[in-house]
Amino acid sequence: MTNDKHEAVIGLEVHAQLRTETKAFCGCTTKFGNAPNSNVCPVCLGMPGVLPVLNKKVVDFTIRMGLATHCSVASKSVFARKNYFYPDLPKGYQISQYEEPMCQHGYVDIEMEDGASKRIGITRIHMEEDAGKSIHDLDVDTLVDVNRCGVPLIEIVSEPDIRTPHEAYQYLYAIKQLVTYLDICDGNMEEGSLRCDANVSVRLKGVEKFGTKTEVKNMNSFRHVERALEYEIQRQIELIEDGGNVVQETLLWDANKNVAVPMRSKEEAHDYRYFPEPDLVPVLVSEEWINEVKKILPELPKERRNRFIRNFGLPKYDAEVITAEKPVADYFENAASHLSQKNSDTYKSVSNWVMTDVLRVVNERHIAVNDFPVLPEHLSAMINFIIEGTISGKIAKDVFEEMLKTGEEPKAIIERKGLMQVSDASVIEKAVDDVLARNAEQVEKYRGGKTQVFGFFIGETMKATKGKANPKLVNEILKKKLAG
């Protein structure tokens, strides 16, 4: 996409909807999916005479994100009004922060394509309220749903440190991981709880001055962000190569057509006339408050991944997959703590089950790991049975399927279905004798030097024992008997 001469300069503005129970400036619930215009009160309806009252949780959540991104948290920050007219903005202004935001000067480390680490600066993180939703696609008229009005957001503004769509993807991914680990946002881009706008320009490599930038909006998934940026960078380079100039404008990504379309200039010609919100007092955050938040700050993805490698001996790949999402990492740790033998082999075994079987089902069924029918302690109980030789790895797959269906603990399933591994040598010897007796021809072949038929005997013996025979014992006994 880029050529050798040019490089892109990208800065991202990410909006994260905070998972507070009530709205930023009134007591209404933030619950998603209620009937339109039901989560409302005089305050979020913007009735005459109402006043906003700040929800402390919003400050708390913003401090968390500030600390997690190494920002300095301002002891005093100020809300401001961003003025513009729109039907889904009942007050005619959005309460936001402008000159004095809550957090500034932080960073996030991302991994580049070559595996090296790169630091992306965070300019600022500020608090604001969401607007409502205008619904245009109905015949009647434009309808407005103000349930979302006043739901708290944080806006995370990066420095223009991003150079490629891949870096943008990695940065966004890192932000998503942070907000979900911090439990302040569900991080769902498709549902709009995480939104991303990009400022993009290109310049000749080695040149310090930025080119003219455009703003790209309406990118509703990680993939859209990557594709929209690829498109816009390519467009700008071609324009410049053809002797044209980039015009500063706002573009909307059309995911169906894979193009970014300029917004009508009327829509973007805004002078927001920011000024300090006189209905709210400045937000004062004490050292003690910050320390309180620090205390409850969870382990963040990078630290957790490193600890999984260090303490559990997991391969880097496994550690990354498992720590990508906090609930998965929690599931793994919970299961690991219930192992009867704790070593890198048994941990790896848990990792394998989580990565292949657990995540497969989670993805197929589109469910949250927290709702996964097999409890982590049941998964490790099952692995313990494998370690102890009670069941084979193959039988374990059946036990797992049954646990998925019934949610029972593995012991009950193994007993009910009689899946206990047979380690009684006399039982196996009898089965082997039967197999050899029935297949005299194959026995001759083996004894005549065609040892590759050994696998056939194993298969027959396992079939005869319904898969429950201890494979190690089957192996030993067969070898002995065939040797005659």
> Which positions touch other proteins (CB under 8 A)?
42, 45-54, 81, 83, 85, 87, 90-93, 142, 144, 271, 273-275, 278-281
Residue 399: its H or E element: helix 393-406
Dihedral-angle region of residue 308 (phi above 0 means left; psi in -120 to 50 means alpha; beta otherwise): alpha
3 state DSSP class of 312:
helix
CB of 27 to other proteins, least distance (A): 10
The residue (of 25 and 312) whose beta carbon lies closer to other proteins is 25
Least distance from other proteins to the Cβ atom of residue 73, Å: 21
21 vs 183 by CB, closer to other proteins: 21
Structural tokens at position 373: 């029918």
Amino acid type, 355: M
Whose tokens are 């310049």? That residue is 203
Closest approach, Cβ 88 to other proteins, in A, equals 9
Work out how close the CB of 76 gets to other proteins at its nearest, in angstroms, rounded to a whole number: 15
Distance CA 335, CA 380 (A): 5
3 state DSSP class of 280: coil
Which C-beta is closer to other proteins: that of 19 or that of 81?
A: 81
CB within 8 Å of 86: residues ≥ 6 apart: 131, 134
Region class of 37: left (phi > 0), else alpha (psi between -120 and 50), else beta: left
Task: Considering the complex, state which of residue 138 and residue 437 has its C-beta at the smaller distance from other proteins.
Answer: 138
Cβ 89 to other proteins, closest distance in Å? 9
Of 68, 20, 56, the C-alpha closest to 326 is 68
- What is the nearest approach in angstroms of other proteins to the Cβ of residue 341? 57
Residue 127's contacts (CB-CB under 8 Å, 6 or more residues apart) are: 24, 58, 59, 62, 77, 79, 96, 97, 102, 152, 153, 154, 283
**C-beta closer to other proteins: residue 8 or 95:** 95
Q: Residue 385: is it exposed, middle or buried by C-beta count within 10 angstroms (0-12/13-18/19+)? A: buried
Instruction: Return the number of the residue (146 or 196) whose C-beta is nearest other proteins.
Output: 146
Residue whose CB is less far from other proteins, 46 or 313: 46
| Separation between Cα atoms, residue 184 and residue 190, nearest integer Å | 17
- For the CB of residue 274, give the shortest distance to other proteins in the complex, in Å: 8
Please say which residue, 143 or 239, places its beta carbon nearer to other proteins: 143
Tokens of 350: 């848990």
Alpha carbon 127 to its chain centroid, in Å, reads 22
Residue type, 285: V
What is the closest distance, in whole angstroms, from the C-beta atom of residue 93 to other proteins in the complex?
5
Closer by beta carbon to other proteins, 278 or else 448: 278
Closest CA to 171 of 185, 184, 181, 161: 161
State in angstroms the smallest separation of the CB of 63 from other proteins: 19
Query: The tokens of 11 are what?
Result: 């800065």
